């Protein structure tokens, strides 16, 4: 029985480790970006590299950045000052909302009123809190899109533009027209979806165009605002609540001018940050990094402001326009496949997060159960007798010594039991002991003896 428990515990332990390895292995594989496969790339031949590209003799060393892909560029001139794997296709998370705003801003009146729908309120991820059948201005929706990265606001703006599918098609056309050929849009929020990918280069190109719009810059630099609550009862005033920006670069970096945060479990940390110092505006885009992605963007911006005068451009954000079908533009054609980053699956996604959570819970349960079984096994081993080997034949036998419990018995019953079970004893032989004669008897005896003589 103990051997079976030990085998069961070992098996459960192995299963738990395999489940944990499967989950972690999928995540580690998903974190590896694909190297740029083209010999040349949009924006310049050097941007085809998967390594760090910089040409700044005499400048300080670049900061250590964990991001799998990043770009540091001048928003005004379009010069790329440094980059790492800029065309790797990775998940954008909410940084895709830059393209959402860029596509729908020209088509919506900020003063127009929109009535929220159930599909808006029921989206996944971050929300501003739209209430179905409540009315909001388009201006409110844009503020929610930028400040709290509301996915419900993104859905509402898409429906206000004409619907989800027309808006997605519009976003894809906008990206292609600007030469952002690494970008494929599936939804307007940036939530993880099969095939929804972009690159640090594309996001930088889109940001440069978006920041040229005054309305976009206004929303990107807004720190807080009042957002309408649920509809009031008749005769009552509608209440509002404060919404606050999630852009920590905007709050902590002098000269910051936006622009967008992003995070999902598969995309990990994504961030596009821009700042103006000394009359120069730089943008630093990072993809697939830690949660505090803004810190890496800030580090790159600081390097750019301090060493930008020494840096020769390694590329440009002046991307070419999208080609006609089958016609080559630079290294890529509209009909040729674009290399995607490896993210653990054919669709660019690893395990969905509910399945990841289930695997984690299952692995922990199995490991805990295996631990209990192994502890029981060790406890049995300590209590089991040791095998004793004797003789030249090395036959193994087990000797177990068990102490019988002592049962108290009545006194007379114990005596009877002893007498009934004890072997008969031989009768003792007694030697009579003679009493020494009295002194008077000894004297008399001596007298008698003398008379006789």
Distance (Å, whole) CA 305 – CA 301:
6
Q: Check residue 85 and report its DSSP letter.
A: S
189 within a domain of the structure (yes/no): yes
> Which residue in the list 49, 69, 149, 225 is annotated as catalytic?
149
55 has a pLDDT exceeding 70:
yes
Distance (Å, whole) CA 301 – CA 81:
10
The reply to whether 297 belongs to the active site is no
pLDDT band at residue 31 under the 50/70/90 scheme? very low
The reply to whether 224 belongs to the active site is no
pLDDT band at residue 362 under the 50/70/90 scheme? confident
Residues 286 and 143 placed together within one structural domain of the fold: yes
317 within a domain of the structure (yes/no): yes
Reported in sequence order, the residue ranges of 111-170 that DSSP labels E, i.e. its strands, are 113-115, 135-137
Residue range 382-417, pLDDT digits in tens: 655 555 444 444 444 443 444 445 545 444 444 444
Domain range for 194 is: 33-321+329-341
Residues 77 and 128 placed together within one structural domain of the fold: yes
Q: Check residue 312 and report its DSSP letter.
A: B
Residues 146 and 279 placed together within one structural domain of the fold: yes
Residues 77 and 177 placed together within one structural domain of the fold: yes
More confident residue, 424 or 54: 54
Residues 180 and 153 placed together within one structural domain of the fold: yes
pLDDT band at residue 41 under the 50/70/90 scheme? confident
Query: Taking the mean position of all CA atoms in its chain, how far away is CA 319?
Result: 35
Residues 186 and 199 placed together within one structural domain of the fold: yes
136 has a pLDDT exceeding 60:
yes
297 within a domain of the structure (yes/no): yes
432 within a domain of the structure (yes/no): no
452 within a domain of the structure (yes/no): no
pLDDT band at residue 269 under the 50/70/90 scheme? very high
Q: Which parts of 241-292 fold into alpha helices (H)? A: 248-252
Number of domains composing the chain? 2
- Dihedral class, residue 192 (left if φ above 0, else alpha if ψ from -120 to 50, else beta): beta
More confident residue, 290 or 416: 290
394 within a domain of the structure (yes/no): no
The pLDDT, as a whole number, for residue 373 is 74
DSSP-based helix, strand, coil % in the chain, nearest 5: 40, 20, 40
99 has a pLDDT exceeding 60:
yes
422 has a pLDDT exceeding 80:
no
The pLDDT, as a whole number, for residue 260 is 98
36 has a pLDDT exceeding 50:
no
Residues 77 and 105 placed together within one structural domain of the fold: yes
The pLDDT, as a whole number, for residue 205 is 98
Residues 45 and 14 placed together within one structural domain of the fold: no
Q: What is the mean pLDDT of residues 198-226?
A: 98
Residues 95 and 142 placed together within one structural domain of the fold: yes
Residues 97 and 157 placed together within one structural domain of the fold: yes
Q: Check residue 90 and report its DSSP letter.
A: B
Residues 7 and 58 placed together within one structural domain of the fold: no
Domain boundary among 306, 341, 376: 341
431 within a domain of the structure (yes/no): no
> Which residue in the list 49, 94, 204, 297 is annotated as catalytic?
94
Q: Check residue 213 and report its DSSP letter.
A: S
The reply to whether 448 belongs to the active site is no
The pLDDT, as a whole number, for residue 144 is 98
162 has a pLDDT exceeding 70:
yes
Stretch among 23-37, 70-84, 317-331, 371-385 having the lowest mean pLDDT: 23-37
415 within a domain of the structure (yes/no): no
> Which residue in the list 49, 97, 155, 204 is annotated as catalytic?
97
Q: What is the mean pLDDT of residues 352-380?
A: 68
The pLDDT, as a whole number, for residue 410 is 47
Residue range 308-353, pLDDT digits in tens: 999 999 999 998 644 433 333 333 333 333 344 433 333 334 445 5
Distance (Å, whole) CA 441 – CA 453:
19
Cβ neighbours of residue 422 closer than 8 Å, sequence gap 6 or more: none
CATH number for 78: 3.40.710.10
Residues 40 and 156 placed together within one structural domain of the fold: yes
């Amino acid at each position: 029985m103990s051997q079976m428990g030990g085998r069961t515990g070992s098996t459960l332990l192995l299963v738990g480790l395999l489940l944990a390895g499967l989950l972690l292995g999928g995540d580690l594989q998903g974190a590896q970006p694909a190297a740029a496969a083209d010999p040349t790339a949009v924006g310049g031949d050097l941007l085809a590299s998967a390594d760090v590209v910089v040409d700044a003799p005499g400048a300080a060393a670049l900061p250590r950045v964990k991001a799998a892909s990043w770009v540091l560029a001048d928003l005004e001139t379009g010069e790329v000052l440094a980059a790492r794997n800029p065309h790797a296709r990775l998940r954008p998370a909410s940084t895709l909302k830059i393209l959402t705003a860029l596509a729908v801003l020209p088509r919506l009146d900020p003063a127009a009123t929109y009535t929220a729908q159930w599909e808006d309120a029921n989206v996944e991820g971050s929300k501003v809190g739209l209430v179905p059948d409540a009315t909001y201005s388009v201006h409110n929706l844009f503020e929610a899109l930028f400040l709290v990265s509301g996915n419900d606001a993104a859905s509402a703006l898409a429906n206000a533009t004409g619907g989800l599918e027309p808006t997605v098609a519009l976003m894809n056309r906008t990206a292609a027209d600007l030469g952002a050929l690494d970008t494929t849009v599936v939804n307007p929020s940036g939530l993880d979806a099969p095939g929804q990918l972009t690159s640090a280069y594309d996001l930088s190109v889109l940001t440069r165009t978006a920041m040229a719009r005054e309305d976009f810059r206004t929303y990107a630099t807004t720190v807080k605002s009042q957002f309408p609550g649920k509809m009031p009862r008749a005769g009552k005033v509608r209440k509002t609540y404060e919404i606050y920006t999630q852009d920590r670069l905007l709050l902590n970096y002098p000269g910051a001018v936006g622009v967008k945060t992003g995070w999902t479990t598969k995309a990990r940390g994504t961030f596009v940050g821009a700042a103006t110092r000394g009359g120069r505006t730089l943008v630093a885009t990072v993809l697939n990094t830690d949660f505090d992605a803004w810190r890496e963007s800030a580090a790159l911006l600081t390097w750019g402001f301090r060493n930008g005068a020494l840096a020769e451009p390694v590329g440009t954000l002046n991307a070419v326009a999208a080609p006609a079908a089958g016609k080559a533009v630079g290294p890529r054609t509209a009909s040729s496949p674009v290399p995607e980053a490896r993210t653990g699956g054919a669709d660019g996604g690893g395990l969905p997060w509910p399945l990841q959570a289930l695997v984690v819970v299952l692995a922990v349960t199995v490991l805990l159960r295996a631990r209990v079984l192994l502890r029981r096994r060790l406890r049995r081993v300590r209590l089991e007798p040791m095998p004793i080997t004797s003789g030249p034949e090395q036959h193994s036998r087990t000797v177990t010594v068990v102490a019988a419990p002592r049962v108290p018995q009545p006194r007379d019953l114990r005596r009877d039991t002893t007498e009934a079970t004890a072997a008969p004893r031989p009768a003792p032989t007694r030697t009579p002991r003679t009493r020494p004669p009295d002194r008077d008897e000894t004297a008399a005896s001596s007298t008698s003896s003398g008379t006789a003589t």
